[in-house]
Amino acid sequence: MFAYITGMRKGEVQSLRWTDVHSDEIRLRAENSKNGEGRTIPLEGELGELLERRQTSRRIEKKGVVTISEYVFHNSGKPVGEFRKAWATACCMAGAGSLVCPSCEGPVDAEYKCEKCSKRFPREQVRYRGRIIHDLRRCAARNLLAAGVPQAVAMKITGHKTDSMFRRYAIVTVEQQREALRLAAQYRQQQAKQQKVVSIN
C-alpha cells in the first residue's frame, strides 16, 4: 500500500528508516534514491495513517529480549530482502498472477504439476507470470495524474527526473479514453446548442 500511494521504488521502500520519517513528512535521503536526489513526501491522509500503524511493528520481542527496528518495513528488525517468491504467491492468491510450467508455459497446480504436459517441477523451477512490484509505481503515477495533480508535482512525489521517463508510467486506461470521448460529445452538444441560439438571434 505504501508503494502504491507514493510510487517509491522497491529499494527506496526497503531502505526507509524511521530517522527518515518526521512529524509531517518523509525525507528520502539521496543515497537511498536511484537517481541520487533526495526528496520530501508529505504525510497526508492515508499515508500518515499507514505510518502510524507501522509504528506498532517497531517493537520486536524474541526470547524475552525487546529490540526496536530502525527500518519502517522490516523482517524481524532486519531490512526486507528479496521477496519475489512471497510477491508471486500473493499475486497468485489475489488472481493477479499465475505459476506456469518452465517447459511449455502451461498452468501448474498447487503441487507444481503442469496441466498440459503433466510434468511436476520443484517450486524454484516454476515460472511466475503476472504483476510485478514495479507496477505499484506505475499505478501511483497514473493515479496522481488521473486525480488532476500537475505532472511536475507528481514527478516530485515519485522521484522522476525527466518528462520522458515519467510519461512511460502515465498509462492511459480504456476507461479514461471512454470518459474523454463522453466529455468531447458533451462539449460538441453544448457548442451545437450555442450556435443554434446565435443563429436564432
Regarding the domain with residue range 2-96+131-167, which homologous superfamily does it belong to in the CATH classification?
Intergrase catalytic core (1.10.443.10)
Which class for 154: exposed (0-12), middle (13-18), buried (19 or more C-beta within 10 A)? Answer: buried
At 169 the pLDDT is 74
The segments of the chain whose pLDDT lies below 50 read: none
At 201 the pLDDT is 59
- Short-list 133, 14, 127, CA closest to 75: 14
Separation of alpha carbons 192 and 198, rounded Å = 10
Backbone φ and ψ for 111, nearest 5 degrees, come out as -100, 15
At 98 the pLDDT is 93
pTM of the model: 0.76
